[in-house]
Structure 1
Amino acid sequence: MNKAKQILLRALSDPEARLDVEKSRKLMNLKTLDPLKPFYRTLDTKFYREGREIPIRIYFPDTESYEALEDMEKGTMEDNVYPVILYIHGGGFVTESVDSYNRVCWNLAKHTGHVVVAIDYPLAPEYRFPTQIEDCYAVAKAVFADRSLLNTDPDSITIMGDSAGGNLTAALCLMARDRGEFSPARQILIYPCVNNNYEEHNGFLSLMENGKDYLLTRQNMMDYLEYYQSCKEDRKNPYFAPLLAKDFTNLPKTLVITGEFDPLRDEGEAFAEKLAQGGNQVVCHRIADGFHGFFLLEPFYPAVKEAYEYINEFLREKQENT
């Protein structure tokens, strides 16, 4: 990483600062002021669990896919031929939303040719574990089992998430295997947080190397988990911290993408290794110069461009084998 970028990231990082939830949310919500938003092809809908709404936004890669859904709703098309990415956003379980991820999800649809279904799960600390994972599971179950909305072949659905969304994606796939109600074929984890401990010397060198000067700090991670947990016992639950799972067999084909300067780098790569040891198909790539959150940048940014190359290669393998 060049010196100028390091200086900028260091200036934006405060390793001692405790998380101010309201301030962080206001900062992240600035991304909702997107001048391109009127040009996105989207459809808003919602699911319900325990009497609560779970908002969903669907992004279409092109006009044809948007019109195809309209035709299907009119009963003039039998099947949706477009593959689907079920996307779970990051934000430490505390910040971000589908609105703040509009540009990310739109770019994902456009650059992969997939219909992207983004879940607007509730945030901590107002809602705590396991609300988020249960809500995401309920949406995934509906998308896989109920073909009335997208009418998609379950084998054409990929579950994907970044950071906290990577945690929820990994946990969702563990939960799906354990409950046996549907079977995801693929998952994509972008710099996932899968651990339960961010104290000093937690066993992962990247936390100490990169936990002060690269936007996401070790203190941030400690605060995020404090807000997310309902009680200390949650930290022993593999749906809270997927790295703790005892059984890594019979899980989806997985792509893990980490960043060279991300404090979560090593735990993401350790999770990929455990998946491989469990007999699953796993591909893991470390992005040079990548820092936590780089995937939220525009696709022309070198790290994002490289990530899309790996993502499309991973998705293309399924289509070529169909």
Structure 2
Amino acid sequence: MAINKAMRAALKALSYPDIDIRKTYPIERALRTAAGRPVLFYKPWDHVVHYGDHDIPVRIFSPETEGEHAILLFFHGGGWVTGNIDSYDKVCRNMAKLTDRSVVSVDYRLAPEYRFPAAPEDCYAVAREIFLDLSLFGMRADQITLIGDSAGANLAAAVSLMARDRGEFLPRSQILIYPATAADHTENSPFPSVRENGTDYLLTSKRICEYMELYRSGPEDCENPYFAPLAAEDFSNQPQTLILTAEYDPLRDEGEAYGEALKRAGVPVEMHRIPDALHGFFSLPPRFAQVQKAYGYINRFLDEVSHPACQDNP
């Protein structure tokens, strides 16, 4: 359904231009957790990955079908500040059901209590454990796909870059849903979507700047590709990639720019812009047309990754 005048007016009113997430993030974090709290009749498996001086909680969601299932290693959104493993519980349950894959959700450390590079290092640590000890799930490495939305997609891209640079493992595929890939979301941004969609569509450019201010340790992080993947000097040797962007999202253009950068480096990339979609649409119930369209692309991509030989046949 297209965004009509009444809906535009409502979205503008809900975009909260005067709220400063740097002051209110504890409240928003609590609200998101309450909204996504697990239902009582569903019991996923909770696990921890030991890393350094702390444990990283991991929650595994199994699909409803019997048998062996490939893995989606999921990094949640929330601007590196407000999301968590509980607030994404419903999203992950739906993901497991709609893709017929096991979803491994990572509860990485949040800013500002733990600033960059805590989040990507946590995500890398979980990925490293799964890829280097395939007996954990009885999977082959090529049966594991990285996936994330927004800040989580940023982290998925960062983990893939880290994996290439460190040489310990390399994911075969990744799915980036409206990823944050750049560091500048002010009026100086080179991406038109920051200005076109940065005020009246729930996620504002002002809020993105505030999230990043809470997340970064210092201005030098803006040049670090693990913070802003578009800052990378080398985009080669990256996983086969699916990128989904939203039409009315300030992050739209930078996500697509990242896809183009990967393409120029010879990486197989598929990109789709979901029409009439806002940032965050992936967390909506599956009945929404935008969510259905997204899962259509995701399942087709996963099938192609799982059966690469089919792509060579006429």
Q: Please indicate the TM-score interval, normalised by the length of the shorter structure.
A: over 0.9
- Measured after TM superposition, the shift of residue 63 of structure 1 is 5.4
Tell me the TM-score normalised to structure 1 length.
0.92
Q: Provide the residue aligned with 1:5 in structure 2.
A: 7
Q: Which one of 16, 19, 44 corresponds to residue 17 of structure 1? A: 19
Q: Which one of 203, 206, 227 corresponds to residue 240 of structure 1? A: 227
Q: How does 1:185-196 map to 2 (within 5 A)?
A: 185-196=172-183
Structure 2 Cα separation of the partners of residues 96 and 30 of structure 1: 11
Q: Which one of 220, 232, 244 corresponds to residue 257 of structure 1? A: 244
* Aligned partners of 1:194 and 1:242 also within 8 Å: yes
Note the alpha carbon deviations across 1:282-315, whole angstroms, 9 max, x for none. 0000000110100000111011110000000100
* Aligned partners of 2:77 and 2:83 also within 8 Å: yes
Give 4+ residue runs of structure 1 displaced > 3 Å after superposition.
none
Q: Which one of 54, 66, 69 corresponds to residue 82 of structure 1? A: 69
- Measured after TM superposition, the shift of residue 134 of structure 1 is 0.5
Moved more, 7-16 or 114-123: 7-16
Note the alpha carbon deviations across 1:185-208, whole angstroms, 9 max, x for none. 000000000111111131111010
Q: Is 1:107 aligned with 2:84?
A: no
Tell me the TM-score normalised to structure 2 length.
0.94
Note the alpha carbon deviations across 1:45-73, whole angstroms, 9 max, x for none. 000111201000000001525xxxxxxxx
Structure 2 Cα separation of the partners of residues 179 and 161 of structure 1: 21
Structure 2 Cα separation of the partners of residues 39 and 148 of structure 1: 29
| Paired AA for residue 8 in structure 1 | A
Q: Which one of 57, 82, 99 corresponds to residue 55 of structure 1? A: 57
Q: Provide the residue aligned with 2:36 in structure 1.
A: 32
- Measured after TM superposition, the shift of residue 22 of structure 1 is 1.5
Q: Percent identity?
A: 50
- Measured after TM superposition, the shift of residue 231 of structure 1 is 1.2
* Aligned partners of 2:115 and 2:214 also within 8 Å: yes
Runs (5+) with no aligned partner, structure 1:
66-80
Moved more, 239-248 or 1-10: 1-10
Structure 2 Cα separation of the partners of residues 235 and 201 of structure 1: 14
Q: How does 1:1-322 map to 2 (within 5 A)?
A: 1-19=3-21, 20-34=24-38, 37-62=39-64, 64-65=66-67, 81-321=68-308
Structure 2 Cα separation of the partners of residues 203 and 96 of structure 1: 28
Secondary structure of the structure 1 residue equivalent to 2:40:
helix
RMSD between aligned residues: 1.2
Aligned length: 305
